[in-house]
Amino acid sequence: MRGRVIDKQSQFPLPGMTVVLSSSDPIRGASTDNDGYFRIENVSPGRHNVKLSFIGYEPRVFSNLLVNNGKDLEINVELEESIEFLNVAEIEASEEKHESLNKMSSVSARSFTVEAAMRYSGTLQDPARMAQNFAGVSNTSDDRNDIIIRGNSPTGMLWRMEGIDIPSPNHFATLGTTGGPVSMLNINNLANSDFITGAFAPEYGNALAGVFDLKLRSGNISKYKFLGQIGFNGFEFGAEGPLGLGKNSSFLFNYRYSTLGVLRAAGVDFGTGSAIPQYQDLTFKIDIPTSKAGRFTLFGVGGKSFIEFKAEDATERNLYSADAENSEFNSDT
């Protein structure tokens, strides 16, 4: 478990902050370094509670944080100063966890966490399918992740990544649409992001129906970590760790290949002839802090997808190929 603690107003790091893992037995903890970073080693998999406290600041408590095998849990916290008034009325408001990250979006906007995207049923770890569960949002069909907001066309959906407008981040995307059957976005690489359905801030000038403002997380700054998994979305391999180009610099990349494509190459017959969806995608981010309190960031997302239907494959078992034509479809992003 690792992360960073900063002052909410000044955005400066808070050294000496106490971080306690209250759900462990015995109770364990750590302190932040001069740059506000902390790390707790050998945390057992499962859900844990974490409390952060510091003299002069309001304490923060995080409950039911999920720790997985072979993967660090990152917690980045902004603390507010603790101010006491004498002989005055004090008004407190409960924390709005769904408040958007963009301060210019005050209504019709919400922030979603990566953990939330993994909890929604039927999302296939796809942020677009997760958003279809929100009020006022629906989909076109189960085989695509197009987003319909209050009856608007899915083509009015604006996708952004790290502040840059991007086209449809999906495999098998078609011209003029913003959805597709399989997402290129890898949930293991995303950070907390915004989903906005109206009252768009001025920076979202091309949005007509909605905005998905995506953020990529940075890699591990202290240790090399590797990820390998097999699932419905594909065979996947990832790596992250310190880059060695300055203090707290890091890299992160993740590659994924179609599960059905691998199984077909291994000789598995799905009864569809050559009509097997084959796709692959790559996501990376390089993050290097600079000497003037800034950051140099290089990131990218790319994907290729392909499927073909041959007339020679047309049989009574094959419901997809036509016996009078060959067709193929591919998309590159």
Residue extent(s) of CATH 2.60.40.1120 domains in the chain: 2-79
- Close Cβ partners of 64 (under 8 Å, ≥ 6 residues apart): 47, 48, 49
Distance in angstroms (rounded) separating the CA atoms of residues 239 and 255: 9
Across 206-228, average pLDDT = 91
pLDDT band at 321 (very low <50, low <70, confident <90, very high): low
In 3-state terms, what secondary structure has residue 171? Answer: strand
pLDDT value for 97: 57
- pLDDT value for 285: 95
**What per-residue confidence (pLDDT) applies to 281?**
95
Query: What count of Cα atoms within 13 Å lies in the side-chain half-sphere of residue 311?
Result: 4
Question: Percent of the chain at pLDDT above 70?
Answer: 93
Q: Domain 109-216, what fold?
A: Ferric Hydroxamate Uptake Protein; Chain A, domain 1 (2.170.130)
- pLDDT at residue 21 is higher than 60: yes
Query: Where along the chain do the CATH 2.170.130.10 domains lie?
Result: 109-216
Encode pLDDT of 237-279 as tens digits: 999 999 887 788 999 999 999 999 899 888 888 777 778 889 9
Q: Which residue has the higher pLDDT, 302 or 130?
A: 302
Measure the N-to-C terminal CA separation of the chain; round to a whole number of Å. Answer: 34
125 pLDDT exceeds 90? no
Mean pLDDT of 36-59: 89
Q: Enter the tokens of residue 213.
A: 């403002």
Average pLDDT over every residue of 34-42: 91
What is the pLDDT at residue 288? 92
Q: What per-residue confidence (pLDDT) applies to 174? A: 81
Average pLDDT over residues 40-69: 88
Give the containing element (helix H, strand E) for 75. Answer: strand 74-79
Chain centre distance of CA 148: 21
Measured distance CA(70)–CA(43) in Å, rounded: 11
Alpha helices in the chain (DSSP H): 114-119, 127-131, 259-265
| Cβ pair 171, 303 in contact under 8 A | yes
pLDDT tens digits, one per residue of 163-174: 899 988 999 988
State which amino acid sits at residue 5: V
Percentage of the chain modeled with pLDDT above 90: 29
d(CA 163, CA 201): 13
Least confident among 24-33, 41-50, 86-95, 123-132:
86-95
Q: Which CATH number fits domain 2-79: 3.40.50.2300, 2.60.40.1220, 2.50.20.10, 2.60.40.1120?
A: 2.60.40.1120
